[in-house]
Amino acid sequence: MKARIVRTGIAVAVTSLVTAGATWHVAAEENQTQTGKANVQVLPAPALGQVNRTSYADIVRLVAPAVVTIRTEGNAQIAPAAFPEDEFFRRFFGDQDDQGQPRTFRQRALGSGVIVSTDGYILTNHHVIAGADDIRVDLADGRTLEATVVGTDAPSDLALLKIGATDLHPLQLGDSNAVQVGDVVLALGNPLGVGQTVTMGIISAKGRATTVGDEAYEDFLQTDAPINQGNSGGALVNTGGQLVGINSQILSPSGGNIGIGFAIPANMAKHVMESLRKDGRVRRAALGVSVQPLTSELSANLGVKDTEGAVVATVTPGSPADRAGVKPNDVITAFNGDPVHDMNALRNRVAESAPGSRATMTVRRGGSEQRLSVELAEVPQVRPTT
């Protein structure tokens, strides 16, 4: 059976429980909703002392109060009839009312979120709250509060919510760049609506891209900590009790966990969060090139010794790259001092920069290496991000 990427929010309106096997049947939520530097006030993580290698209970007690359940409601439209031009079939299949307007129904969905400030800001996935007009947050202490959308960003699949509470216990954001393959991590969320659940695993890989959405900015941490539908927007934490990722997707042939889950790294989440809190949207820089992978064959043709970097396929006339002197077949190997391992890494490094700022690039051209300076433009807002 072919594996597929599943976003791990769930539509609870179609959920049923089979008592014989205690198996939940769920449908992955694919809806799409709306909307500050932030001085986000986060509490420092208390010292955990000597790590107990046989138990993670101390870490769970620290981080569990910061992980919430998010419940949403919104209108969903009935799919068009098989014969949209035939009025009889449209009425028979029920996708129009008596006035000829599309029929809608209320759909409920469930996901998770992470409290990131003492004054009520919560990070979650865009796909958890997309299309919702009513969002409620269940706190670990039993309270349920209404949430408002500060901003949402579909390309990164992140959203920022706000609740009216101040007596909260936020998670400290860790440095996801410092995470190493093999590090132990815990995943917290509300899978399948059973209640807050903790699972354990390791970081299986870094820098993954699944290309589920259009114009997606992806730099996933891959983990084998079991993640299931309903875990979307929940926390991936290290053994220091710091947030290193926001759980987002799983790779699965059936919709269930097979040990391949993906989390948005905390550094990307922090950048998006600060932009959403400040502006209600994310402004991303543009370089003005299209790139392609540096394969072994292409590397040999270009006279490059390895396959690290992104090959420039085309340069947009008049773009920042054009003005900086970038040429087709240049291999970009570093951006602002950070290594560029592949085309996805380049895209993310550029996107994290401020529009209008200056950046430096290292490029290989004709067997030599050059450093170029470029003034970045801004990616146009071709469609709303909310």
Which one is catalytic: 204, 232, 275, 353? 232
In 10 A of CB 226, how many CB atoms? 19
260 pLDDT above the threshold of 80: yes
Residue 357 pLDDT level (bands cut at 50, 70, 90): very high
Instruction: Compute the average pLDDT of residues 330-350.
Output: 90
Q: Show the tokens assigned to 112.
A: 């998770």
- C-alpha 130/C-alpha 138 separation (Å) is 18
Q: Is the pLDDT of residue 215 over 90?
A: no
Average pLDDT, the chain: 82
Report the alpha-carbon distance of residue 350 to residue 334 in Å, rounded: 11
The burial of 269, by beta-carbon neighbours within 10 Å (0-12 exposed, 13-18 middle, 19 or more buried), is given as buried
With 80 as the cut, is the pLDDT of residue 385 above it? no
Q: Kindly give the residue spans of alpha helices, DSSP state H, lying in 12-122.
A: 57-63, 87-93
pLDDT, position 99: 62
pLDDT at 152 over 80: yes
Band of pLDDT at residue 49, cut at 50, 70 and 90: low
Query: 189-209: per-residue pLDDT in tens?
Result: 999 999 999 999 999 999 888
Which residue's structure tokens are 């008592």? Answer: 19
Active site residue 127: yes
Integer Cα distance of 294 and 306 in angstroms: 9
Segment among 141-145, 263-267, 271-275, 303-307 with least mean pLDDT: 303-307
Lowest mean pLDDT, pick from 91-95, 133-137, 305-309, 328-332: 91-95
Rounded CA gap, 46 and 40, in Å? 18
Per residue in 70-100, is it b (16+ CB within 10 Å) or e — as a string? bbbebebeeeebeeeeeeeebeebebbeeee
User: What structural domains does the chain harbor?
Assistant: 4-46+57-279 (2.40.10.120), 285-378 (2.30.42.10)
**What is the percent of the chain where pLDDT is above 70?**
77
Instruction: Give the C-alpha separation, 44 to 59, whole Å.
Output: 14
Q: Is 172 or 380 the better-scoring residue by pLDDT?
A: 172
Structure tokens at 261: 């889950």
Mean pLDDT of 333-362: 90
Answer whether residue 120 shows pLDDT above 90.
yes
CB 301 within 8 A of CB 329: no
Active-site residue among 95, 153, 157, 224? Answer: 157
Measured in degrees and rounded to the nearest 5, phi and psi for residue 228 equal -130, 175
Residue 217 is predicted with a pLDDT of 83
pLDDT at residue 228, as a whole number: 92
What length does the chain have?
386
Take residue 371 and report the two structure tokens written for it. Answer: 């450093």
**5 half-sphere exposure, CB direction, 13 A CA radius:** 15
Does the annotation mark 167 as catalytic? no
Q: How far apart are CA 189 and CA 263, in angstroms?
A: 13
Give tens-digit pLDDT for 67-92: 999 999 988 755 554 445 555 555 55
Give the pLDDT of residue 85. Answer: 57
SS3 state at 341:
coil
Q: Reply yes or no on whether the pLDDT at 213 is more than 70.
A: no
What is the mean pLDDT of the segment spanning 47-58?
70
pLDDT > 90: what percent of the chain? 57
CB 36 within 8 A of CB 271: no
Residue with tokens 């205690």: 22
pLDDT, one tens digit per residue, over 286-298 is 999 999 888 888 8
Catalytic residue among 95, 112, 126, 127: 127
Chain centroid to CA 25: how far?
Answer: 24
Please give the average per-residue pLDDT across 210-216, as a whole number.
63
Q: What is the mean pLDDT of residues 206-235?
A: 86
The answer to whether residues 233 and 247 touch, using CB atoms and an 8 Å cutoff, is: yes
Confidence category of residue 323, pLDDT binned at 50, 70, 90 = very high
What amino acid occupies position 106? R
Query: What 8-state DSSP symbol labels residue 77?
Result: E
pLDDT of residue 262: 96
Q: Pick from 248, 262, 268, 237: which is nearest to 130 by CA?
A: 248
The reported pLDDT for the residue numbered 383 is 47
Element (H, E) at 266: helix 266-279
Q: Which long-range contacts (CB under 8 A, 24 or more apart) does 26-31 make?
A: 26/192, 26/229, 26/230, 26/255, 28/229, 28/255, 29/109, 29/111, 29/127, 29/128, 29/229, 29/232, 30/127, 31/74, 31/76, 31/107, 31/109, 31/127, 31/130, 31/131, 31/132
Q: In this predicted model, which residue has the larger pLDDT, 18 or 80?
A: 80
Looking at residue 386, its pLDDT comes to 35
157 is catalytic: yes
